[in-house]
């Protein structure tokens, strides 16, 4: 609780992790994570973050854990010239993994250095690091610098868009209009069939990614004394 993790390598250092989390049922409360590219490596296990501040530029919340970030500030920083910002890069590599990154009741905003450049530096919500990448955004505030398409491909040679699941529910703010999101933003995986819709999902779908079903929260989170929202 109330710890700051910082990697001071700077934006020119490329991948520079501030903290790597491997533990099962990890909890961070009122913590700060400061870096640029790859700040928070939520690598494995069930992870919960509450009332935190996370700073970064490229893929700065990433990993292969079952991750829920609630009531936190996501502060996007100014990268080096020619780079773009991506908040989330999930590493789910197959459809049977109960993994992904969920942001709920958070604010995604530019930090003070990016603010004057927020319209010229492109900022995306997520991109698919692996084939079954999952990023879900529930009841967040998106500031006006989020690109209308919302998401970008991983690379020209490996787009990872066929089975990715990028979805939004109940978000507000000038960057929250999901009508122009990329066509591959959301896929519902049913055996070997993928059905694509818009980025917006229904309330019933959104509930699947809240604390109780996503983290099985009632079996362990109350014992930490950290506050959390059970549902929407």
Per-residue pLDDT tens digits for 6-46 = 999 888 888 999 999 998 999 999 999 999 999 999 999 99
Per-residue pLDDT averaged across 120-149, rounded?
Answer: 96
Other CB atoms within 10 Å distance of the CB of residue 229 = 17
Per-residue pLDDT tens digits for 211-222 = 999 999 999 999
Residue of 38, 59, 90, 143 marked catalytic: 59
59 is catalytic: yes
Phi, psi at 221, each rounded to 5°: -60, -40
Helix (DSSP H) and strand (DSSP E) numbers for the chain: 2, 19
List of domains in the chain:
4-224 (2.160.20.10)
Instruction: Specify the pTM.
Output: 0.93
Per-residue pLDDT tens digits for 52-87 = 999 999 999 999 999 999 999 999 999 999 999 999
């Amino acid at each position: 609780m109330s710890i700051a993790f910082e990697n001071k390598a700077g934006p020119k250092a490329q991948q520079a992790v501030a903290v790597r989390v491997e533990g099962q049922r990890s909890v961070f409360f009122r913590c700060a994570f400061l870096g640029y590219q790859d700040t928070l490596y939520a690598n494995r296990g069930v992870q919960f973050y509450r009332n935190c501040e996370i700073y970064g530029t490229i893929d700065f919340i990433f990993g292969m854990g079952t991750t829920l970030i609630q009531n936190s500030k996501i502060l996007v920083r100014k990268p080096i010239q020619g780079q773009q910002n991506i908040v989330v890069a999930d590493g789910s590599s197959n459809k049977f993994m109960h993994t992904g990154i969920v942001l709920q009741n958070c604010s995604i905003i530019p930090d003070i250095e990016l603010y004057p450049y927020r319209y010229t530096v492109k900022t995306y919500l997520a991109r698919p690091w692996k084939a079954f990448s999952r990023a879900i955004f529930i009841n967040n505030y998106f500031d006006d610098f989020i690109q209308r398409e919302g998401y970008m491909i991983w690379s020209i040679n490996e787009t990872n868009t066929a089975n990715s699941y990028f979805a939004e529910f109940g978000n507000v703010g000038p960057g929250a209009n999901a009508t122009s999101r990329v066509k591959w933003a959301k896929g519902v995986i049913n055996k070997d069939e993928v059905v694509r819709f818009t980025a917006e999902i229904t309330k019933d779908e959104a509930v699947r990614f809240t604390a109780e079903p996503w983290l099985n929260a009632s079996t362990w989170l109350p014992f930490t004394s950290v506050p959390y929202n059970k549902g929407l």
